[in-house]
Amino acid sequence: MSLKKIVFPISSLFFAIGFLAIGYGMILTFVGVYLKELEVSNTVIGIINASFFLGAVLSSIFSQKFISTVGHIRSFAAFAALMVITFLMHSLFFNEVLWAILRLLSGFSFYALLIILESWLNEKSSEESRGRILAIYTIVFYLATALGQLFLNIDDHFKEYIFTIGSTLVLFSVIFISLTKIKEPILEPFEKLSFPKIFSIVPLATVTSFISGFLVGGFFSMAPVYILMQGSSVELVSKFMIVSIIGGLISQWPVGILSDRFGRRKLISITSFLSAVTSFLFILYANEEIYLYTLGFCLGLSVFTLYPLAVARANDVVDENKDIVEISRSLLFTYGIGSFLAPLIIGVGLSLTPNFLFISFFILCLILSIYALTQERVKDKDLSVFVNIPVTSGAELPQLDPRQDEEYAHDSNNSYFQ
């Protein structure tokens, strides 16, 4: 089936994803910048940003029942409306408690919207097209998130309207979904596995997903704060975030190919070691603009590939008697917990030293690099296939993973190893 025939029937979903991701990327970065300009303490900034990821975790647990009861289109409109309300209330006035609640509701709504969109993509995916649809989803999400960073450069006189712009972008996504003719899928109920159980089944994947969540959550929520603490401008923050996100997008395919050839254990170790080295160099050279861009690109190359590597590792080691979809959802939940804890810990740490962000990154990445090498190697014949995954995804993404189709994995392995 041609790419055009795959994409055109579900183009409305990709447009909706694109507008949501632009708003997501813009507001997530802007909140830290805005609060820092208000001279809010780093600890409070961390708590407010962590509330967004707490909302994401809660959404993965509770939003599915609402979606199943009301239906996809109505649920999308409801959660989009809630997200717009939270954005607009941000612009009314600043209060620490209010903003924390608004960020929690915003995170809950955003990840519920992702669940709706991903389940729709899965509904329209065949075994033949699932891999390409997920790849397009990944590209759209990365590029749209990077595009959202450009809005940080808006003139200071118009910055009070940034939340209004975010609301407008979300409403654009509602237009595309409201007019879609795509059949509403049925969401199957699912339960999370406990952390001890998931760790006993896939220990390296669990540790990697948690640390990856910490790194990505800390990067998006607190890296802008760190850069402003160096005396840099908001324009530099914008460019730094764009360069880093583009680095993350570019790295997905080469890292995937290398991990399919040499195994996930080695690539997790190498990638996390490179992240540790990059984090250490940030501590030494972050005051130079050219170094900041270069290191940001290198950090994006390494950090954003860790979670897809974790999921691939789980697919490598899980036997056919285990439900890999539920395990993948549990890994995503673990990733969310890491994202939630990152702003809390880094916010407190930045109050102690401006370099705490990359000190924590350095320590965690070095630990992961060493830990990965202590784990058992998977034989080449037992390797699954690396699949590109968006930097942010909902609880329905594992259903879209083409590795659930044994024929896909078999054919892909043949293409790499023969």
User: 100-150 pLDDT, tens per residue?
Assistant: 999 999 999 999 999 999 888 887 777 777 778 888 899 999 999 999 999
Q: State which amino acid sits at residue 2.
A: S
For the chain, the average pLDDT equals 87
DSSP state letters, 52-103: HHHHHHHHHHHHHHHHHHH-HHHHHHHHHHHHHHHHHHHTT---HHHHHHHH
pLDDT at 120: 86
| The pLDDT of residue 413 is above 70 | no
User: 293-351 pLDDT, tens per residue?
Assistant: 999 999 999 999 999 999 989 888 876 556 777 888 889 999 999 999 999 999 999 98
Which is higher by pLDDT, 269 or 64? 269
Task: With CA atoms as reference, report the closest residue to 110 among 395, 348, 351, 385.
Answer: 395
How does residue 92 score in pLDDT terms, banded at 50, 70 and 90? Answer: confident
Asked if 237 and 33 touch (Cβ cutoff 8 Å), the reply is yes
Contacts of residue 344, defined as CB under 8 A and 6 or more positions apart, other chains included, come to 46, 47, 50
pLDDT at 64: 86
The CB-based long-range contact list for 283-292 (8 Å cut-off, 24+ gap) reads 283/355, 283/358, 283/359, 283/362, 286/226, 286/227, 286/230, 286/358, 287/230, 289/232, 289/236, 292/227, 292/232, 292/236, 292/240
| CA–CA gap between residue 327 and residue 329 (Å, rounded) | 5
Task: With CA atoms as reference, report the closest residue to 88 among 161, 169, 171, 154.
Answer: 161
| CA–CA gap between residue 25 and residue 280 (Å, rounded) | 26
User: 44-60 pLDDT, tens per residue?
Assistant: 999 999 999 999 999 98
Q: What is the 3-state secondary structure (H, E, C) of 25-44?
A: HHHHHHHHHHHHHCCCCHHH
Complete domains list, the chain, with CATH:
9-182 (1.20.1250.20), 194-392+405-418 (1.20.1250.20)
pTM, rounded to two decimals: 0.91
Tokens read off for 115: 């669940």
Share of the chain above pLDDT 70, in %: 92
Backbone angles phi, psi at 359, to 5 degrees: -65, -45
Asked if 387 and 256 touch (Cβ cutoff 8 Å), the reply is yes
pLDDT at 21: 94
| CA–CA gap between residue 356 and residue 229 (Å, rounded) | 12
Helices 264-285 and 306-317 pack at an angle, to 10 degrees, of 160
Q: E-strand spans in 220-355?
A: none
Task: With CA atoms as reference, report the closest residue to 331 among 227, 225, 195.
Answer: 195
User: 368-405 pLDDT, tens per residue?
Assistant: 999 999 998 887 777 778 888 888 888 888 888 787 66
- Separation in Å, CA 267 to CA 16, 101, 262, 367, 371: 33, 39, 7, 14, 12
DSSP 169: H
Asked if 285 and 305 touch (Cβ cutoff 8 Å), the reply is no
How does residue 418 score in pLDDT terms, banded at 50, 70 and 90? Answer: very low
| CA–CA gap between residue 98 and residue 106 (Å, rounded) | 12
pLDDT at 178: 84
User: Please, how many CA atoms are within 13 Å of residue 3, restricted to the half-sphere of its CB?
Assistant: 5
Burial class (CB in 10 A: 0-12, 13-18, 19+), 181: exposed
pLDDT at 88: 93
The CA angle 343-347-351, to the nearest 5 degrees, is 170
Backbone Cα Rg of the chain? 20
Tell me, rounded to whole angstroms, the distance of Cα 248 from its chain centroid: 11
